Amino acid sequence: MKRDWLLYLVIFSLALNIGTIGTLGYMHWRGRPEPPPPPESAPLPFRKLLRELDLDPQQRQIFKEMAPAHWRKVRELQETLAQQRQDLFALIRQEDLPEWPPVQIKIREIGNLQVQLEEEKVHHLMVVQKNLRPEQRQLLITQLEKRLPQCCPEPGRGRGMMKRMRNGMGPGSSCPPGPMGPPGLR
């Protein structure tokens, strides 16, 4: 009986040592995590950015008039993009796999929608910038550059569609809200 207990203790100790060595090996192989960026380099939250821009009443009025059409167009493109992605998945999910041409056509439709979405966002940004004073424009550009790593990560460290969905960003959205933010944030 005493011998069995000693054997179990040796096996447990061996398993614990193997687990520890495996964990240390994994941590060494994975490398050191990147330190968090210093707080001063973090982008301003959208509402604070609006306050920092110090918009005059005329600018506020111009942006309030522009925003609904822009966000309606963005929402329509995102919804269409989500539907096209679902259609593509339905194609490749079929029991009888489709030929390549219909899949390729669907991929190109998705690509064209992504281009339209990007064009809409950048066009809106350019119109917004035309209505800003030079110091406001510089602040906006600086803040957008700080957001760039969040939505356009380094190659090999991308944010896939599923990760964006888990993080609350809708399909087709790759970047945080632009200069006028979503309608609910005004």
Give this prediction's pTM.
0.58
Tens of pLDDT along 50-100? 888 889 999 999 988 998 999 999 999 999 999 999 999 999 999 998 899
Residue 20, domain member (yes or no)? no
Give percent of the chain above pLDDT 90.
44
Q: What's the CA gap between 172 and 111, in Å, rounded?
A: 11
Which CATH number covers residue 138? 1.20.120.1490
Which of these, 185, 148, 149, lies nearest to 50 by C-alpha position?
A: 185
Domain count along the chain: 1
Tokens of 169: 């960003």
User: Is pLDDT at 115 greater than 90 in this prediction?
Assistant: yes
* Residues spanned by the domain of 119: 43-153+161-170
Tokens of 24: 């240390």
The least confident of 22-31, 87-96, 98-107, 143-152 is 143-152
Q: How confident is the model at residue 155 (pLDDT cuts 50, 70, 90)?
A: low
Residue 100, domain member (yes or no)? yes
Residue 111, domain member (yes or no)? yes
Residue 79, domain member (yes or no)? yes
Pair 55, 145: CB distance under 8 Å? no
